A and B are shown apart, each in its own frame.
Chain A
């Protein structure tokens, strides 16, 4: 009935779902779970504040090199939404760039709603959200750099599915003296954003945005499930290493069923 090799994945999903359900229930009952500081998200306020002081824009760049929004793009839009709300609160100049048509449509709606939600719908302009480059990173990168230099940005947020153009964008922002926040799970790009950006949101930190900002029980419950999932993976890795070292392949066979 199940495809070969998917039994272990299904079992993991069921366990993960149960942990998430228990986590959400416990949060709704009022249990408090401390979430460690995410400097990358705290820096959004600082970056928008700097943009307000200097009278120069805050630029959010959402990279989408494929014809559909993947998980990174959705998570990145969540961070951009938070940045837009902060920009609306401080009345800072805000520009959002999308390289994918889907993310452009969602971003437009999100930024408009963010400004309306802060009670400042009149500050929203249609040219705040721009579609640049389509799915080609080689077209997108130089165009965004040109726009950064034209607008003389004070701060920027690089997020979504970051590709090789990340370093180019980050260096362009650095040459303008902008505060830069890089947010991605792409392991190939992590060294570049760590080297070029002032603040980073790496891997799972990108997905903790909703829980970190809103602290609502459901988001925090799922964050708890993530942490338990990591513990489970660590246990499986350690047991697997020990079994493999001492000649047992049972765990591998079990996971391949």
Chain B
């Protein structure tokens, strides 16, 4: 039963949601498909408790043993449980709760995202070596597209903008769409295997 029950649940959930996509019957679309999707979100929220438990155990052990960076482990646990309890007791619309979110998480996120620009430069410096004609073509294309996207490039040569657009709209888009079609077929294949119980990777140990 330990193997069969998850497979039956997977089949009912997968087939139900697919039926909701194809069929017009309100019973399937509204009752089964929509409810299953809502239940999936609720179950995922419960699964978060497992993740929080793992974090608490690892960092709690580090804190109690005064291991490496134990103070940061303490700070993590304080942030995790303090913020959670504040939201639980006072609600997510409480002024302090939203202030902490807006003052800490939002600027922190923006900072991390802003770092990506420097990582791109570092990756390009490491990778773009014109050792072959293909690499040379790639570097030249990258230069044209990058310059065509900014004002200085178009000021140097107005045609860079339309050339950059053309490269993005035709060769680049067609290549990406080819990859997307291949990946979509892989997704369909995996989905059918999961629904029919052939692929059991999502069950953890049972899939091995």
Interface size on B, residues (CB 8 A): 60
Q: Which residues in window 101-144 of B have CB below 8 A to A?
A: 105, 108-109, 112-113, 115-116, 119-120, 122-124, 126-128
Write out the residue numbers on chain A whose beta carbons fall within 8 Å of the beta carbon of B45.
67
Chain A residues near B (Cβ < 8 Å): 1-3, 6, 9-10, 13, 16-17, 20, 67-69, 71, 74-75, 77-78, 81, 98, 100-102, 104-110, 112-114, 117, 126-127, 129-132, 134, 136, 138-139, 141-142, 150, 164-165, 167-168, 170-171, 174, 185, 187, 190, 192, 195-196, 202-204, 206-208, 210, 218-219, 222-223, 225-226, 229-230, 233
Instruction: Determine if B186 and A75 form an interchain contact, defined as CB atoms under 8 angstroms apart.
Output: yes
- 22 residue pairs of the A-B complex, CB under 8 angstroms, read A16-B188, A71-B191, A74-B201, A101-B47, A104-B47, A104-B50, A105-B47, A107-B204, A109-B204, A113-B205, A129-B54, A142-B112, A164-B116, A167-B120, A174-B123, A185-B183, A203-B186, A204-B182, A207-B190, A222-B192, A229-B188, A233-B181
Q: Does B21 contact A (CB under 8 A)?
A: yes
A53 to B116, CA, bound (A): 32
Write out the residue numbers on chain B whose beta carbons fall within 8 Å of the beta carbon of A69.
202
With A77-B201, A185-B183, A226-B186 known as contacts, the answer to whether A170 contacts B123 (CB < 8 A) is yes
Instruction: Determine if B127 and A195 form an interchain contact, defined as CB atoms under 8 angstroms apart.
Output: yes
Given contacts A98-B51, A164-B113, 5 further A-B pairs with CB under 8 A are A114-B208, A192-B123, A195-B123, A196-B123, A230-B185
Nearest-CB residue, chain B, relative to A222: B189
Q: Which residues in window 40-98 of B have CB below 8 A to A?
A: 40-41, 44-45, 47-52, 54-55, 57-58, 68
A107 to B190, CA, bound (A): 18
Nearest-CB residue, chain A, relative to B187: A71
Write out the residue numbers on chain B whose beta carbons fall within 8 Å of the beta carbon of A203.
179-180, 182-183, 186
Q: Does B194 contact A (CB under 8 A)?
A: yes
Instruction: Determine if B201 and A185 form an interchain contact, defined as CB atoms under 8 angstroms apart.
Output: no
Q: Does B146 contact A (CB under 8 A)?
A: no
Chain B residues near A (Cβ < 8 Å): 21-25, 40-41, 44-45, 47-52, 54-55, 57-58, 68, 105, 108-109, 112-113, 115-116, 119-120, 122-124, 126-128, 176, 179-183, 185-194, 198-199, 201-205, 207-208
Instruction: Determine if A20 and B189 form an interchain contact, defined as CB atoms under 8 angstroms apart.
Output: yes
A134 to B192, CA, bound (A): 28
Write out the residue numbers on chain A whose beta carbons fall within 8 Å of the beta carbon of B127.
195-196
Write out the residue numbers on chain B whose beta carbons fall within 8 Å of the beta carbon of A100.
44, 51
Nearest-CB residue, chain B, relative to A171: B119
Instruction: Determine if B182 and A168 form an interchain contact, defined as CB atoms under 8 angstroms apart.
Output: no
Write out the residue numbers on chain A whose beta carbons fall within 8 Å of the beta carbon of B128.
195
